[in-house]
Amino acid sequence: MRPHRRALLAGAMALTMLAAAGCAAQTQTPQSKIYVICKSMDPYWDTTKAGANEAGEEMALDVTYIAPQSEDELDRQIQMIDEALADGAQALVIAPLDTDALNDTLARAVDAGVPVLTIDSDVSFEGRSTCISTQNLSAGAIAARAAANFVDGSGEVGIICHKANAQTAIERKGGFVDEIEGSSQKADTPKNDPPKNDVPDDVPSDVPGDTPDGEAPAVPEAPAAPAEETQSSGYPGMKIVETKYCEGNIELSKAGTIQLLSEHPDLKVIYATNQPGTVGACQAIDELGRADDITLVGFDYFDGADAYIQSGVLDAVIAQNPYNMGYLGVRYAKRLIDGETVAASVDTGATLITADNLQDADIRWLVDPTGKAGK
């Protein structure tokens, strides 16, 4: 082929490629911008962040994760919502620090066409689209039955609770108290009307990531149906003597535990309603050498929990699935951005971990879904 003809063909091919690239640039769909706003920078939320980022990578979304430094920064969380809206957020996935205080801010988001999804805990604002969380009343009841089993249904009980006005605290404490006292109880129910359809079709039946078996664990495929009202017989030999509210702070929880043990010498059980409360209670019981005579049932697995369980300081802990909260939160947000509907409530599950099942393969995946602990 003559040199000038080769040059013409090369030039034509280059122009064709540039034109194709220009068309692709013009037709490419912009990334959806989703903000995930959690409660604090506590390591517990790292797993939620990992799940949110995984979903964002799978769907080529623009996911921004932010959180206040600590759980007592409600005003900062409200400010973060406003900043996300100013930055052009198309959906908000939020773990609210208060049941009612965020309502006006969230209403502004919905009025602006930005769907709101709650994870971990809920708000009283009826305009939110879905709540993806643990069924906290049921989880509290599970903790109560475990505690009663450890002490043969007899003894004084103290509670280390993280907040007086947070929905998670109210329900985790309420489910525990109801089960001990034999009160009538119901499982958590959605605040909104049932959705027109079920869980989004594009949500996979598995969460990404390898399990020890090589199989991915199941994601909830539909919201749990509300349970019929039941009457628990309770544990007449057990008495709840005091609740200490420790603001989701490890040091305050540790001090509260020490106070409970000092003020109630016959105490047999302590129930902690979140991770900082559980960590603080573990530290106090360990330092006081009370592992043999105090049963501790906590909430939220944490780094270091294995050692406390194996030593007998922590008898049981309720593990949530924060990875799924972040993962499904982002996927559901994309569905809402696209104008589709989602389930009004999704239960991400609660698992009781004790020394008996600590090393089970499914438990190891649950507490370390990203595999970081093994590296």
Percent of the chain with pLDDT over 70: 78
Per the DSSP assignment, residues forming a β-bridge with 201 are none
Separation between Cα atoms, residue 92 and residue 95, nearest integer Å: 10
pTM of this prediction?
0.74
Is the pLDDT at 33 greater than 50, yes or no? yes
Domains annotated on the chain, with CATH: 33-134+322-348 (3.40.50.2300), 136-186+227-319 (3.40.50.2300)
Q: What is the DSSP letter of 121?
A: S
Q: What is the DSSP string of 290-344?
A: -TTT-EEEEES--TTHHHHHHHTS--EEEE--HHHHHHHHHHHHHHHHTT----S
Separation between Cα atoms, residue 222 and residue 347, nearest integer Å: 8
Please, are residues 320 and 140 in contact by the beta-carbon 8 Å criterion? Answer: no
pLDDT at 30: 56
Please, are residues 92 and 128 in contact by the beta-carbon 8 Å criterion? Answer: no
Summarised one tens digit per residue, pLDDT across range 91-107 is 999 999 999 999 999 99
Is the pLDDT at 205 greater than 90, yes or no? no
Summarised one tens digit per residue, pLDDT across range 41-73 is 988 899 999 999 999 999 999 999 999 999 889
Per the DSSP assignment, residues forming a β-bridge with 119 are 132
Summarised one tens digit per residue, pLDDT across range 338-349 is 999 999 999 999
Q: How confident is the model at residue 373 (pLDDT cuts 50, 70, 90)?
A: low
pLDDT at 231: 53
Cα–Cα distances in Å, from 108 out to 76, 79, 98, 329, 369? 17, 13, 17, 20, 35
